[in-house]
Amino acid sequence: MPGPTLLPVKLQPSNVRPIAYRVLSKKHGLNIQSDALLVLTELFSTRFGAEWRGPLGQQFLEDFAKLWKKQDRGLFIDGPGCSQVIKEITKEQATRQLTMGSGAIRAAKTDTFADEPEASDVPREVMDWRHFVLFVTPDMQPNFHFDRIRKQFSPRDKAGKKLRPALRASLEYFSQRYFLLADRMSRDENFQKTSFSSIAAINHTLANQPQKGEITLIKNVLGRDGNKFRLFGLLLKNMNGNLVLEDSSDHIELNVTRAEKFKGSFFCPGMFVIVDGIYSASGGSRANDGDVISGCFHVSVISQPVAETRDLAMDAYGHLDFLGIHNDAKLAGLSLVKIDRALRRKLVALEKTLHGHRLILLGSNVFLDDLKVRAGLQKFFAKLEDQIHDLDQADAGNITVVMTGSFASQALTSAKGSVTAISNSEEYKANFDWLAEMLAKFPLVVNTCKLLLIPGANDPWQSTYSLGKPGSSTLPQTPIPKVFVTRLERLFPRGSLILGWNPMRINYISQEIVLFRDDLMTKLKRNDIVFESDLEFERMQLEREARGEDQNVENIIGDEVHLSAKIRQARKLVKTLLDQGNLQPFLKDLRLVSPNYLHVMRIEPLPNTIALFDSKFESFEVTYNGCKMTNLGSFISNKNNRKLNYAEYSPSTKKYAYKEIHF
């Protein structure tokens, strides 16, 4: 039976302060601020009434303190944080009462034994997988901001479809990446400070050397000429064209004449890197400038901050609901929504039973105005129709076909200017009308599958001012306007046609799948910094080839694994991208990223899989730190042949199957 109704009373902060001090401060070591005390006073007045001194109020403060410390919110209880924790406790209590009222059998605390129900009497909870398959676009993706003080994520309002970037988001464009990577490195044992009591630490100190793995702020190298340091910061170029490293404290010029790269990564301006070397008080192009640290840093080795696995990152950040899979997340407002361990286990077990679910990824640049592409699409959907016909209805329950732009071979502009006076937009719409007419011939595909369209460089509306040049466009790219796909919308059942953004995410039960259309390999190769050691290695390779040493048996058979140039470059791309924790680890002059959507470009924690659509590089699949990354290449890789490329991803097995169709 519910307890008696408690009448509210009017309390003052001075009334609640003694009990709050006794429970929160004296017992749990927390300091409550005045604004938080006002929030607690209002809560005690309305919820506990005249019984605010009783056990219910003290138990609430106990639960409050435990949750506050569990979320690592710090020693000082502020007003906004107090309100968030109260919301979470209230929501948890309401859920518990609902569960008990629905017939859950629980033993009373005074019982010695409890009669356990028979297995047949307990109704098993049936989870509908449809509730956990979401297409998350950047305008609806939950926005989490990394708090460098608490070292945790805090929620912000969703970005929506803002055209103008907010001032705060613009200022935090690089600092958010810096502090997030620094927090990741603080959990890496390779960057932990060595205890001073150890013999190794004493030897390092006596030799004026930094402790092993310790990251030093740039401001702390001043006055320590000739010492070795390890620095971490943003790689830039100054007005003189020299490389500069910048962190949260200052910046310093780099001397890379004898620097060597850590193998397997690209190093471009705009990336956060780790440099080992010696500080010199003399030298540098701005030695006489009093506003910066004089001298330069002689780099010996430059490397990337190593990525950590998804499980470790999710454990560190409390398994936050980064994609908003909870249906009641909208009701929670700005409170932190987490995925508990029981739900995670159920989701993993559920997706392993859905063997027939597939994600079919077509190669990029599906030019609908190309006759060869049209013939290939007809052959592909005809084959898919036959496969669905042979499958059971349960196995064909969830098939998503992803088509990636550009969907026109020429960029959509305001007018084409041809003698036929047909506008470019009408031709663009006619291409999707043809696609709808062609798909109407395959009813099983239309009624069973979902179609996801991701725009490319030639697609509206960005193409009207960028003219199809990726460097002139902005990320994330908005979806194709509905005015061009009206016939497709009428053809497909409601919810089966998804107009996606670039990039976007798919939450498939327990997995996070990232879809991104960009020619990344070209940008990485073009902007990779070339050191003297790279040129020297290239000269040695050419000399070996000229002497024919590369064809000797002892050079072919050895301990070193010989990989093709394609595999080596693919591994470099994957490692660079995942180590940086961002889909665009460049400066803004390569491709502008809207600061409002910085959380969309972030891949920290690592997703389960990333599907890259790079039309200028071959297809590959590389797994790094548990994240599987694939590239689909172009839909038709060679214009001289009639072969289309696509891949099928099975979420139950987490494997890709690469296929080709000759037409």
Per residue in 484-542, pLDDT tens? 999 999 999 999 999 999 999 999 999 999 999 999 999 999 999 998 887 887 778 77
Could you tell me which of 251, 296, 304 has the C-alpha nearest to residue 274? 304
pLDDT at 86 over 50: yes
pLDDT at residue 328, rounded to an integer: 53
CA distance 333 to 155: 9
What band does 57 get if pLDDT is binned at 50, 70 and 90?
confident
Is residue 585 a contact partner of residue 270, using CB atoms and an 8 Å limit? yes
For the chain, give every domain's residue range.
13-101, 354-518+583-662, 529-556
pLDDT at 420 over 50: no
More confident residue, 624 or 544: 624
CA distance 188 to 73: 22
Report cis status (omega within 30 of 0) of the bond before 503. Answer: yes
Is residue 614 a contact partner of residue 593, using CB atoms and an 8 Å limit? no
Measure Cα distances from 49 to 17, 45, 268 in Å: 16, 5, 62
Instruction: Give the model confidence (pLDDT) of 443-474 as tens digits.
Output: 999 999 999 999 999 999 888 888 778 777 88
Instruction: Give the model confidence (pLDDT) of 188-214 as tens digits.
Output: 888 876 654 444 444 544 444 444 578
pLDDT at 63 over 70: yes
Could you tell me which of 634, 632, 586 has the C-alpha nearest to residue 609? 632
Q: 592-593 and 474-475 as β-strands: parallel, antiparallel, unpaired?
A: parallel
pLDDT at residue 402, rounded to an integer: 98
Q: H-type helices in 364-459, by residue range? A: 371-390, 424-439, 443-448
Is residue 245 a contact partner of residue 259, using CB atoms and an 8 Å limit? no
pLDDT at residue 168, rounded to an integer: 83
CA distance 554 to 541: 16
The H or E element that residue 134 is part of is: strand 133-136
Could you tell me which of 401, 505, 602, 494 has the C-alpha nearest to residue 139? 505
Range with lowest mean pLDDT among 156-170, 228-242, 320-334, 358-372: 320-334
What band does 7 get if pLDDT is binned at 50, 70 and 90?
low
Q: What is the 3-state secondary structure (H, E, C) of 312-327?
A: HHHHHCCCECCCCCCH
What band does 222 get if pLDDT is binned at 50, 70 and 90?
confident
Measure Cα distances from 113 to 101, 105, 118, 460 in Å: 21, 13, 15, 68
The H or E element that residue 175 is part of is: helix 175-186
pLDDT at 566 over 50: yes
Amino acid at position 437, single letter = E
More confident residue, 633 or 97: 633
What value does the mean pLDDT of the chain take? 83
pLDDT at residue 20, rounded to an integer: 87
pLDDT at residue 556, rounded to an integer: 47
Measure Cα distances from 615 to 456, 461, 518, 592, 593 in Å: 11, 21, 8, 20, 21
CA distance 156 to 335: 10
CATH architecture of 354-518+583-662: 4-Layer Sandwich (3.60)
CA distance 85 to 269: 41
User: Residue 483: which residues within 8 A CB-CB, separation 6 or more?
Assistant: 429
The residue-averaged pLDDT of 626-638 equals 92
Q: What is the 3-state secondary structure (H, E, C) of 328-349?
A: HHCCCCCCCCECCHHHHHHHHH
What band does 330 get if pLDDT is binned at 50, 70 and 90?
very low
User: Residue 204: which residues within 8 A CB-CB, separation 6 or more?
Assistant: 194, 210, 211, 212
